[in-house]
Amino acid sequence: MSEILFKAACPNNKILYDSFEKPSVMVYIPKFKMNQVITNGSDRVHPAFIVNGVERDGFYISKYQNTDIDGVGYSLPMQVPCNEVDITLSYNKSAEKGRGWHLTTVQEWGAVALWCKRNGFLPYGNNDHGKDKREDIFRASPVSCDEKGAKRVLTGTGPLTWSHDRTVSGIWDLNGNLSEWIGGVRFVYGELQVLPDNDGADIQNSQDSDSGAWRAIDSATGEYIKPDGKGTTPRSVKADYQAEPFDVAGWGSKWVFTANEPPSKADMLRRCDMSFITCDDTIGNAAKELLIAYGLIFNEPYYDYKEQYAYLNNGLPDAYMYRGGYWGSGAFAGIFCWSCSWGRGHTYEGNGFRTSYIEL
């Protein structure tokens, strides 16, 4: 498809070319401060707009979940989204495009999610076999089907309710279709670790398991601190699971962020409704604001997060994140849905990814 046709189909979006001179349709997210998207937030710039210590005017995010062309990810309409990829493949298919291109980070996803919430747009999507669980009329074009209906759908073929701002210029499929791998974040034995600010947007900052770029978060100050590698860094933000007795389904149990060593630490997947996740009194306001900025805990009103589930394994040495849910997630999918329960090599049919770009 020529650039003229792209601009005709996506008139208010940016067509960016990578190092292979191939195009992607991108949506620009301009810089904003915490208090513009977070109730009672600070005057700090959201971390998605700071890379290597320098404030950036904004970033570009793929309009569509990426399709694979010659081993590289591209944001194009009416295409088969790439699936069955692990975090490493997703990272590499993004980084191959050249410096500035990268796997969308937890900071960027969180920024978009909070913008949607503040502006009253919580996007729908393919979370119920080709349609949204709240819609009966609208369906997208399926790639394949099973006995329950459609699975993956072609990129951008859903209705306007599947756009992040409910216009033709928006970002599609942030809810459902494929759970998207996210860069710049992991949990180490339940300890939250990130690349500071949005340093994960620069592919020169390694995100390998043994990279020295990973930082824990000081629970009192919100500062980035060097982790001890065992998930036991003093004062760091960690995740503890407080289970209700006999609550096998996870309906009443909840994840709690704490500076204490989690007594619940176990190599198993456990979940809760996003609206249940809390911080205990060891987590200061600055650290809590970062958790909100990443979209990992709720900000008022809490009901915007209900029925979107968080899944976590606080017993793994290296757990990586995907977000949004997939075609069969149903009520548990959503732009705030997140899972950090699997290691680097994990893949399944419902996984995909999305690239972003920032000028460096």
Tell me the three state secondary structure of residue 175. Answer: coil
Instruction: Note the pLDDT tens digit of each residue in 114-156.
Output: 999 999 999 999 999 999 999 988 899 999 999 999 999 999 9
pLDDT of residue 8: 66
Tokens matching residue 203: 């592919």
**What is d(CA 162, CA 157) in angstroms, rounded to the nearest whole number?**
9
pLDDT of residue 300: 81
Tokens matching residue 149: 């209906």
Query: pTM for the complete prediction?
Result: 0.96
pLDDT band at 182 (very low <50, low <70, confident <90, very high): very high
Question: What is the mean predicted confidence (pLDDT) over 8-21?
Answer: 89
- pLDDT > 70: percent of the chain: 95
Domain positions in the chain: 187-346
DSSP letter for each residue of 97-142:
T-TTEEEPBHHHHHHHHHHHHHTT-----B-SSSS-TT-SS--PPB
Question: What is the mean predicted confidence (pLDDT) over 67-72?
Answer: 98
CA quadruple 334, 31, 61, 269: dihedral sign: negative
Q: Are 317 and 135 in contact (CB under 8 A)?
A: no
**What is d(CA 113, CA 360) in angstroms, rounded to the nearest whole number?**
24
pLDDT of residue 230: 97
